[in-house]
Each structure stands twice: as C-alpha cells, then as structure tokens.
C-alpha cells in the first residue's frame, strides 16, 4: 500500500473516530518517546527516595483530615506466569510451582499491614474507588489465594460500593467458573489478553490460545455482570500479516468488547531477554506494521469504536469514551481511567505507587521483597518527589493525553502563572509540529488534530523538562 493510500484510507474514517493515520507524519515523527503513565517518567526515579520518604508521604496524607473522605486507588502486582510469551516486557516469574504464589500473598498481606498501620485508624476516611490486579498473570492465583488477597484488602480498607475493581485475565486455563468466582469476589471490570488469533503468530510468540478459550472468558464476563470488557491486541508481532490480522480483528469485533487496546510491539531484545527468542527476520517490515495499524484503525472506526488516545479504543457508550467527552478522563500507571486523579497505594514486587507529590517504586525481585518485609520495612527501591514545576507539567501532559487540548487561560488561572511566558520554550518547540499539522496552536490554546492524535506523546514530549535537559530519548520505545 502506498503512503497516500494509507493516509487516504484512514482519512475516510476521520469523522468516525477523530483519527487520521498520516504515514508521512508518522515516518517523520516516529521517534522514541515515553508513554506518560507518570510524569516525571519512571526512568527519572532515583534511589534517594526510600521507605522513610514513603512513610512520611503516607503519614502526611493521612494526617490531612478533611470532612470529605479522600479517594484512593489500590494496585496489586501478581508476578507469576505459567509460560513465557516471547514478546513480554513485564516483570514476571515463570513457574509452575503454585506454592510460590501462596507465600507471595502472605507477604503482600504484610506489606498491606504496614501501610494500613501508618494510616493510624483513619482508613474509614479514605475510600477505595479503584482496585486493579495486574501482572504477570493475576489468574495464576488459586481461588483460595484470590479469596485471601481480597479479604486482606477489604479488611484493611473501606471500599466504595461503586468501586471499579479490575483484573487482567489470561484466558488460557481460565474457566467460566473462575470468571463467575471473580464476579462474586467483587470484580466488575476485566481485561483479556488476546494479542493475535493467527496460529502462526501464536506459535512464533509461544502463546497458544484458542478462540474458544478467549470467547468463554468474554461471554462469562458478560453473564456475570462485568461492566466493561477490554481486549488487548498487539501489532508488529513476528509472522503477522495484514490478512491474518484482518481475521483477528473481525473475530474480536464480533465478540464486541467494550474497549480494545492495540499495542505496538517494540523489539528491544537487549532490554528484554525473552525477546531474544524472536528471530528478527520473522518480524513484519515497518511498512507492513503501518499497514496493519491503518487496517485496524479503519476496521475499528467502521465498527463504531472511538479513539480514546495512545493505544486505546472504546465503544461510545463505554465509560472511558463518556468520560472523555465530559473532559473527565485521567491517566495513571494502568493507562486511562475514569476516576479523578487520586493517590495510589501499590503492593507487590515492582509495583509503583503515588502518594501526595511522590512516586514510589518497589523492589523488583522476590528475594529483596521478602527480605524487606521480614525486617518489617516497606520494600521501596526508588522514586521521585515532585516539585511545583513537575506537578504543573504533569497536569499539562495529562490534559494533552486525555483531552487532546490545553487551554492557556484556564491553566494559568489554576496555577497562578502567565502560561505563555512560563511555557515559552515549550510552545516554541511546538511550532514545527504546528507547521506540519499535528497541532493547532494559537494565542489561547493548543489542540491536537486528528492527524496528530496517534503522535500525541510526541506533542507531550515538548513539555517534558527532563527530556529537554537529557536531550536523549534512546531508551524509550518508538511512538508507533
């Protein structure tokens, strides 16, 4: 497919999902860049932030009593997986030994206990609005372990009756009964890993997953009252073709998930060891990869999905799409969220939390995690404390990623700054992007155009002070 044909194909669906794939622009701006699930990004975290700082941040937060209960989000990382997917870039432990997860859950309980104690009996004023179980594979846990984990969390915290309780599910080895069980435990949002149904691709990435297994999970989620079902797909995987992925998309659309995440595979075997099992010559060419993306945008637009931002599409009725039209969308470590920006308490190896103006990241290995908790200390490895400029830039970047626009007067008023003077170098850096049609820039606002939306992180990067200082983006994945 030619460059103009690609741009033309996607442009035909411009009005449907507010997205235009412009190959020439993507080729020009497809540099490496962060995903901005946090600002400053996790690579700016440093070991100067220790458990002590985390304790201080927690105590400060919980001393700030207000008449209104404060919302809090929880995240628990379950690192175990049964088998290795070769494309994997997550922090996981491949094992078939289920005694490992039992021990792990006990230690997560200890970590919850320490944090809970620091809240000094004030938990009732801090309502859990969101809980997310990620991994690894959360469904690696046996039913009894999952029950125990949820009891520990519910004993330690007060959950809002409307809490968004979500879990990542690997459909291999998960029965309809397990989904019903998760529903009874209170889970009401589910994310299902699919990636690609093409058997050749599945073989090449060592993730054999039948369509029947996947559909069982999606149907069971519906039958058990889950509010939203997300399906994860990846493009750019080895042996992937436009024709093969077209079939996958048709099957996924027929299953009608509320949300679809379409991630770009980044082949960086020097960073992620499992990727060394993928032969470079089996990867689709850059042109094919772009053609697959164009096809996906086309098909999803035709099927009525709207583009949320970054890698996410949703039905117009899904809460993410509704929140976006109401300018109530937020971004956190799990991606887009409908809930107001609030503190996140994160538990487990490599989990990243956010309390007040600080981010804290836990240690990465089980050994370190257990050693810290045996000593009765929080397993913090590094983090960062945000200054006033970081907090402002975090908000600016969030608004770009969620709303695709910045209102200078509103932000200036909120932060008591002359916005255009404060951000003069950033706005100057945006000028070439405006000239190329990625953004519309005037005296009052910046708006990301349908052509610029796929490149929104390139736009956000212009407001990242650390990137400008480092003048290097080499360690990030490509935007597309």
Identify which of residues 189 and 394 has a Cβ nearer to ligand SF4 in the complex.
189
Closest distance between ligand SF4 and the C-beta of residue 323, in Å? 27
List 191's β-bridge partners, or say none.
168, 230
Closest distance between ligand SF4 and the C-beta of residue 229, in Å? 18
Identify which of residues 82 and 241 has a Cβ nearer to ligand SF4 in the complex.
82
Closest distance between ligand SF4 and the C-beta of residue 383, in Å? 23
Cα 24 to Cα 6, 61, 429, 461, distances in angstroms:
10, 48, 20, 20
**CB neighbour burial string for 31-63, b if at least 16 within 10 angstroms, e if fewer:** ebbbbbbbbbbbebbeeebbbebbbbbbeebbe
On the CB side of 429, how many CA atoms lie within 13 Å of its CA? 14
Would you mind telling me the total number of residues written for the chain in this entry?
Answer: 480
Closest distance between ligand SF4 and the C-beta of residue 214, in Å? 14
Identify which of residues 102 and 277 has a Cβ nearer to ligand SF4 in the complex.
277
Identify which of residues 197 and 463 has a Cβ nearer to ligand SF4 in the complex.
197
Return d(Cα 343, Cα 392) in angstroms, integer: 17
3-state helix/strand/coil string of 159-178: EEEEEEEEEEECCCCCCHHH
Identify which of residues 92 and 393 has a Cβ nearer to ligand SF4 in the complex.
92
Return d(Cα 289, Cα 11) in angstroms, integer: 18
Closest distance between ligand SF4 and the C-beta of residue 126, in Å? 30
Identify which of residues 273 and 444 has a Cβ nearer to ligand SF4 in the complex.
273
Closest distance between ligand SF4 and the C-beta of residue 131, in Å? 19
Closest distance between ligand SF4 and the C-beta of residue 193, in Å? 6
Return d(Cα 38, Cα 44) in angstroms, integer: 10
Identify which of residues 81 and 308 has a Cβ nearer to ligand SF4 in the complex.
81
Q: List interacting residues with ligand SF4 (CB under 6 A).
A: 81, 84-85, 88, 90, 92, 135-137, 170
Identify which of residues 135 and 383 has a Cβ nearer to ligand SF4 in the complex.
135
Return d(Cα 195, Cα 138) in angstroms, integer: 17
- Residue 77 CA, chain-centre distance (Å), reads 13
Closest distance between ligand SF4 and the C-beta of residue 89, in Å? 8
Return d(Cα 76, Cα 96) in angstroms, integer: 20
3-state helix/strand/coil string of 296-325: HHHHHHHCCCEEEECCEEECCCCHHHHHHH
Closest distance between ligand SF4 and the C-beta of residue 135, in Å? 6
Q: Residue 428 corresponds to which tokens in the numbers above? A: 């100057």
Residue 65 has what DSSP assignment?
Answer: -
Return the closest-CA partner of residue 192 out of 211, 315, 177: 211
Closest distance between ligand SF4 and the C-beta of residue 359, in Å? 22
List 273's β-bridge partners, or say none.
none
Identify which of residues 338 and 350 has a Cβ nearer to ligand SF4 in the complex.
350
Return the closest-CA partner of residue 454 out of 317, 325, 350, 309: 309
Return the closest-CA partner of residue 28 out of 440, 437, 471, 313: 437
DSSP secondary structure of 173-205: T--HHHHHHHHHHT--EEEEEEE---HHHHHHH
Identify which of residues 90 and 242 has a Cβ nearer to ligand SF4 in the complex.
90
């Amino acid at each position: 497919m030619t460059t103009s044909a690609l741009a033309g194909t996607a442009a035909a669906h411009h009005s449907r999902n507010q997205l235009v794939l412009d190959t020439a622009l993507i080729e020009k701006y497809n540099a490496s860049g962060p995903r901005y699930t946090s600002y400053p990004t996790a690579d700016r975290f440093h070991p100067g932030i220790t458990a002590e700082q985390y304790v201080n941040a927690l105590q400060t937060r919980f001393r700030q009593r207000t008449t209104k209960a404060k919302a809090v989000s929880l995240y628990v990382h379950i690192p175990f997986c049964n088998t290795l997917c070769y494309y994997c870039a997550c922090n996981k432990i491949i094992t078939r030994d289920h005694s490992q997860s039992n021990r792990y859950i006990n230690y997560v309980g200890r970590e919850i206990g320490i944090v809970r104690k620091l809240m000094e009996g004030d938990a009732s004023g801090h309502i859990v609005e969101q809980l997310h179980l990620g991994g690894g594979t959360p469904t690696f846990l046996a039913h009894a372990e999952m029950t125990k984990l949820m009891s520990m969390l519910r004993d330690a915290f007060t959950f809002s009756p409307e809490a968004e309780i979500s879990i990542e599910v690997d459909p291999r080895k998960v029965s309809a009964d397990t989904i019903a069980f998760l529903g009874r435990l209170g889970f009401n949002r589910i994310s299902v890993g699919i990636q690609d149904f093409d058997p050749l691709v599945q073989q090449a990435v060592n993730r054999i997953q039948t369509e029947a297994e996947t559909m069982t999970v999606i149907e069971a989620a519906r039958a058990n009252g889950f509010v939203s079902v997300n399906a994860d797909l990846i493009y750019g995987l080895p042996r992937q073709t436009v024709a093969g992925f077209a079939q996958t998309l048709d099957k996924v659309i027929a299953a009608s998930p509320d949300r679809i995440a379409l991630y770009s595979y980044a082949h960086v075997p020097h960073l992620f060891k499992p990727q060394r099992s993928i032969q470079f010559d089996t990867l689709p060419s850059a042109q094919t990869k772009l053609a697959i993306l164009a096809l996906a945008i086309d098909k999803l637009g035709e099927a009525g999905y709207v583009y949320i931002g970054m890698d996410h599409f949703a039905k117009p009725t899904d809460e993410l799409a509704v929140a976006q039209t109401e300018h109530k969308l937020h971004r956190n470590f799990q991606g887009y969220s409908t809930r107001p920006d609030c503190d996140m308490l994160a538990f487990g190896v490599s989990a990243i939390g956010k309390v007040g103006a600080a981010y804290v990241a836990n240690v990465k290995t089980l050994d370190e995690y257990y050693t810290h908790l045996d000593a009765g200390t929080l397993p913090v490895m590094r983090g960062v404390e945000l200054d006033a400029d970081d907090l402002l830039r975090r908000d600016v970047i969030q608004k770009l990623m969620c709303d695709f626009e910045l209102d200078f007067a509103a932000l200036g008023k909120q932060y008591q700054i002359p916005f255009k003077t404060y951000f003069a170098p950033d706005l100057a850096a945006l000028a070439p992007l405006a000239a190329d049609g990625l953004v519309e820039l005037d005296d009052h606002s910046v708006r990301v155009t349908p052509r610029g939306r796929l490149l929104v992180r390139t736009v956000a990067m212009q407001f990242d002070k650390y990137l400008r200082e480092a003048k290097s983006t080499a360690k990030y994945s490509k935007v597309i």
